[in-house]
A and B are shown apart, each in its own frame.
Chain A
Amino acid sequence: MYALVDCNNFFVSCERVFRPDLDGKPVVVLSNNDGCVVSRSNESKAMGIKMGAPFFQIKHLVDQGQLHAFSSNYALYGDLSSRVMSILSDTVPHIEIYSIDEAFLHLDGVEPGEMLQLCLDLVSKVRQWVGVPVSIGVAPTKTLAKLASHFAKTYKGYKGVCMMDDDCKRVKALGMSPIGEVWGVGRRLVPKMQGWGVVTALDFAQRPREWVAANLGVNGLKIWEELNGNACVAEEKEERRKSICTSRSFADMIEDVQELALRVSDFAALCASKLRKEKSAAHDVTVFMYTNRFRDDLKQYFPSATMRLDVAANSTQEIVGTAMKCLRTIYRAGYQYKKAGVTVSNIVPADEIQCTIFGFDEELRSRHDRLSAVMDAVNGQAGSSMLRLASQRPGHFADGIRSDFHSRLYTTSLDEIIEVR
């Protein structure tokens, strides 16, 4: 059996740990640059605010005090996520971390009669220890466990845990689940399914195997098997490189921020093109810098900063832009920098980028992709970085980024911990 542990409205819940006054109130978290909504409390969902809604459409609600908005604080979310994951893996030996707010637990070896209590205990432990609410769905396959976690989240009576542990429960749950809610059924597939008369997950699971194979191929069959209780989604093996790093020592030490920005842009652009070459995309961009540690007479500083992209990216624009934001947060004048570098990590296959969750700007992304392809082609022929972004030139660095509603780095910076009176 599998258990899917899903943190409820995770980013909002993280903010509320340190702002208990916002419990029960409408809250949203915005994407990088305060562009659009990426996490909503139940109350803001009830107000009709949609996932991915542009901030300007709801800004008046914030101004009127009806809605509380936060800029995204990925350092905080990442830290609380790792706390949740460590509690899960202390309880169950085999867990698969699926995303920042989801993990599959392998319940092999747990007595069927003890599963419910184990999961209920986990829900209350994570709630007390970290302060975030989680929902757990238990079922014989990962796809069913995901569906079960939806029920655990939706119906208060479950107290956070929904067991889909017999066929009667499975059939009932599938009948109540629209086909679009099934893991792996993309947005584009939904109208097609409906055209075939497949409205619920049950409609699909009850189609003959041959029909599924003929109309939807191997991936469709996988979903069908999973919905019928036969586990076939394997653990994702990390075959790809975990991170890509580009760094250099400078011939002469650099203090000027414009000059540093130029170098860091180049490193970031190189990382982006390496990602594209191996058809990957990265979630995290890290910039680090070193002063010269062999020069005792100079002040020393070895900063680094990581930013998480809402959607994994490999375009030069996004990777370079994110690296520039990182640089901006760590750069301090008055130091002589000897080395700098960019690391992209949390790498996923480019064709598996999860985009429906955040409803991000597909049009903008595809423009970035096309431009990157042109850059690769030209730079490949010229043998160097002939085509560059404007930000790879000095002068661009001074542009500000928006994060007007940033909460504190409560868990990662001693200067920003909570104040207690």
Chain B
Amino acid sequence: MDDVKCGMAQSGIHAGFPSPATDYMTQAIDLNKELVRHPAATFYGRVVGDSMIDAGVDEGDILVIDKSLEPQDGDMAVCFVDGEFTLKYLRFHPGGLTLQPANDRYPSIRIDEDTDFKVWGIVTYVIKNVRTR
């Protein structure tokens, strides 16, 4: 090994000029961070049908579903009712809960103690491809 050469390499000579942007380096926007607050609890779902069409949710849209959130009145939620996942608004009222669609052609579902039902997760964002439609 040539000592002189080593010394020169360590003196830190750089070719060219440093980028003027170096001091302003920051992370680009990362939608994974913005849209997914709880990665361990976040799942995705695909919308089928038009039961939430008046809420702007169309067939094919992708739902960002956060299972860590406690259900609150007015949340849009993925629920499991009668053997399938369904997308509805949660409406709490004294003595119970109603699953409300955003489409007049669909009935609201009243949940009572006998209904086979669970809130699977709360929808936090809806991702829509507006181009290929």
Residues of A at the B interface (CB closer than 8 Å) are: 20-21, 83-84, 86-87, 90, 125, 128-131, 410-411, 414, 417-421
A421 touches B51 (CB 8 A): yes
Interface check B41, CB cutoff 8 A: yes
Question: Which among A83, A128, A418 is the interface contact of B45 at CB below 8 angstroms?
Answer: A418
Interface check B107, CB cutoff 8 A: no
Interface check B86, CB cutoff 8 A: yes
* Residues of chain B within 8 A of A86, CB atoms compared: 39-40
Interface check B47, CB cutoff 8 A: yes
Interface-side segment among B4-12, B62-70, B90-98:
B62-70
Min CB–CB distance B59 → chain A (angstroms): 10
Q: Give Cα A421–Cα B79 distance, bound, in whole angstroms.
A: 10
* Residues of chain A within 8 A of B86, CB atoms compared: 420-421
Q: Give Cα A117–Cα B45 distance, bound, in whole angstroms.
A: 34
Min CB–CB distance B46 → chain A (angstroms): 5
Interface residues of B in 6-60 (CB under 8 A from A): 38-41, 43-49, 51
Q: Give Cα A92–Cα B43 distance, bound, in whole angstroms.
A: 24
Secondary structure of the B contact surface, majority rule: strand
Q: Select the residue from A21, A125, A129, A419 with max chain B CB neighbours within 10 A.
A: A129
Q: List 14 A-B contacts (CB under 8 A).
A: A20-B80, A20-B118, A410-B43, A411-B43, A411-B44, A414-B44, A418-B44, A418-B78, A419-B46, A419-B85, A420-B86, A421-B48, A421-B49, A421-B51
Secondary structure of the A contact surface, majority rule: helix
A420 touches B45 (CB 8 A): yes
A130 in contact with B47 given A20-B80, A417-B62, A421-B87 (CB within 8 Å): no
- CB-nearest residue of chain A relative to B86? A421
Min CB–CB distance B65 → chain A (angstroms): 8
B45 touches A417 (CB 8 A): yes
A21 in contact with B48 given A128-B68, A129-B41 (CB within 8 Å): no
B41 touches A420 (CB 8 A): no
Interface check B114, CB cutoff 8 A: no
B67 touches A417 (CB 8 A): no
Q: Give Cα A21–Cα B38 distance, bound, in whole angstroms.
A: 25
* Residues of chain B within 8 A of A418, CB atoms compared: 43-46, 78, 85
Residues of B at the A interface (CB closer than 8 Å) are: 38-41, 43-49, 51, 62-63, 67-68, 78, 80, 83-87, 118, 120
A130 in contact with B85 given A86-B39, A87-B40, A420-B48 (CB within 8 Å): no
A417 touches B120 (CB 8 A): no
* Residues of chain A within 8 A of B120, CB atoms compared: 20
Min CB–CB distance A124 → chain B (angstroms): 11
Q: Select the residue from A20, A21, A417, A419 with max chain B CB neighbours within 10 A.
A: A20
Q: Give Cα A414–Cα B47 distance, bound, in whole angstroms.
A: 12
Q: Select the residue from B47, B62, B84 with max chain A CB neighbours within 10 A.
A: B84
- CB-nearest residue of chain B relative to A86? B40
Min CB–CB distance B61 → chain A (angstroms): 9
Q: Give Cα A349–Cα B84 distance, bound, in whole angstroms.
A: 45
B87 touches A417 (CB 8 A): no
Q: Give Cα A84–Cα B40 distance, bound, in whole angstroms.
A: 7
Q: Give Cα A419–Cα B86 distance, bound, in whole angstroms.
A: 8
Min CB–CB distance B68 → chain A (angstroms): 5
Question: Which among B39, B47, B68, B83 is the interface contact of A420 at CB below 8 angstroms?
Answer: B47
Min CB–CB distance B77 → chain A (angstroms): 10
B85 touches A420 (CB 8 A): yes
Further contacts, 10 of them, CB under 8 A, given A417-B44, A421-B84: A129-B40, A129-B68, A411-B43, A417-B43, A417-B45, A419-B85, A420-B87, A421-B51, A421-B85, A421-B87
B85 touches A128 (CB 8 A): no
* Residues of chain B within 8 A of A129, CB atoms compared: 38, 40-41, 67-68
A419 in contact with B45 given A86-B39, A129-B38 (CB within 8 Å): yes
Question: Which among B41, B62, B78 is the interface contact of A83 at CB below 8 angstroms?
Answer: B41
Q: Select the residue from B40, B49, B63 with max chain A CB neighbours within 10 A.
A: B40
B62 touches A414 (CB 8 A): yes
Min CB–CB distance B38 → chain A (angstroms): 7
